[in-house]
C-alpha cells in the first residue's frame, strides 16, 4: 500500500508555505508520495493506493470517480500523530466552522476537534455544525464548476440540490457579513479554503487549520 497526497491547488495558492511544510512532513514521516492537481491525477489511483487529501473537493472526486482507491483526510493522520510538534494555545477559545462538503463525514469532523484539543484550544461550537452545516464560503453563491458535477455527481448534484445559487460580489459580501455576525470568538478555524475565505470576507479573523498548526 502506498500513500498519495493531494496538496490541493487552491490551498497551495492560498497558503504556499504551509502547503510546502505539510508535504515535507508527510513525505518524511509517512513516506507519502506527493502528486499534483486532483482533476487529472485522481484517475491514476489504484486499489493499492490510499489517497490523503486536504481539500474536500479532491476527496469527492476520489471517492466517486476513483472507487478502487481508499481515501483519508490529512486531519485523520495528524490527529493520531503523537510525535507531531503541536503548538500550545493555552486554552484559547476558538470557533470551529464545519464545511458543507463533508457534512456527512463525522470521522473527519471528529479528527478536526481532536487536533484542536491536542493544541489546548477550547472549542466553541455554532448551532449549525456537524451534519447541520450548510456553509462553504462563497462557493455556494457561485455557479457550480461543470467538472465538479461530472466527477462527483452525488456530492455536487444529488446532495447539493439547489445549493449553488449565483450571487453578485456585493451580495456575497453582504451574506457573509450576516453569517459571520454569529461568531463570538476572535478566531474562526476552518479546514476548507473556500470556508476561510468566506469567513474573512464576512469581516472575521478566519484561519485555516493547517496555518493554525504552524509546522516548523
Q: What is the per-residue DSSP string for 153-171? A: HIIIIITTTT------HHH
**DSSP-assigned letters across all residues of 65-131:** H-TTSEEEEHHHHHHT-TTS-PPP-TT-EEEEE--GGGTT-HHHHHHHHHHHHHTT-EEE--SS-GG
Please calculate the CA angle 81-112-78 and round it to the nearest 5 degrees. Answer: 20
Radius of gyration of the chain from its Cα atoms, rounded to whole angstroms: 17
Q: What is the pTM (predicted TM-score) of this model?
A: 0.94
Q: How many helices and strands, by DSSP H and E, does the chain display?
A: 11, 8
Enter the C-alpha cell of residue 84. Answer: 507531531
Task: Give pLDDT tens digits along the chain (216 positions).
Answer: 689 999 999 999 999 999 999 999 999 999 999 999 999 999 899 989 999 999 999 999 999 998 888 999 999 999 999 999 999 999 999 999 999 999 999 999 999 999 999 999 999 999 999 999 999 999 999 999 999 999 999 999 999 988 999 999 999 999 999 999 999 999 999 999 999 999 999 999 999 999 999 876
Pairwise CA distance, residues 141 & 128, whole Å: 18
β-pairing, 122-124 with 70-73? Answer: unpaired
Q: b or e along 80-95 (b: 16 or more beta carbons within 10 Å of the residue's beta carbon)?
A: eeeebebeeeeeeebb
SS3 of 126, please?
Answer: coil
Amino acid at each position: 500500500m502506498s500513500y498519495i497526497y493531494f496538496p490541493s491547488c487552491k490551498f497551495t495558492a492560498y497558503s504556499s508555505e504551509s502547503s510546502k511544510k505539510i508535504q515535507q512532513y508527510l513525505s518524511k514521516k509517512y513516506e507519502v508520495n506527493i502528486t499534483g492537481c486532483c482533476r487529472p491525477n485522481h484517475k491514476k489511483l489504484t486499489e493499492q493506493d490510499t489517497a490523503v487529501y486536504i481539500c474536500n473537493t479532491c476527496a469527492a472526486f476520489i471517492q466517486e470517480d476513483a472507487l478502487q482507491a481508499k481515501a483519508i483526510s490529512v486531519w485523520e493522520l495528524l490527529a493520531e500523530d503523537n510525535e507531531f510538534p503541536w503548538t500550545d494555545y493555552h486554552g484559547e477559545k476558538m470557533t470551529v466552522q464545519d464545511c458543507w462538503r463533508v457534512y456527512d463525514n463525522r470521522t473527519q469532523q471528529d479528527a478536526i476537534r481532536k487536533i484542536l484539543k491536542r493544541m489546548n484550544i477550547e472549542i466553541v461550537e455554532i448551532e449549525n455544525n456537524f451534519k447541520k452545516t450548510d456553509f462553504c464560503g462563497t462557493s455556494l453563491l457561485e455557479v457550480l464548476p461543470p467538472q465538479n458535477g461530472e466527477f462527483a455527481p452525488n456530492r455536487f448534484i444529488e446532495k447539493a440540490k439547489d445549493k449553488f445559487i449565483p450571487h453578485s460580489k456585493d451580495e456575497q459580501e453582504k451574506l457573509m457579513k450576516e453569517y459571520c455576525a454569529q461568531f463570538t470568538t476572535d478566531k474562526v478555524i476552518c479546514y476548507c479554503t473556500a470556508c476561510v475565505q468566506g469567513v474573512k470576507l464576512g469581516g472575521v479573523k478566519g484561519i485555516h487549520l493547517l496555518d493554525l498548526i504552524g509546522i516548523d
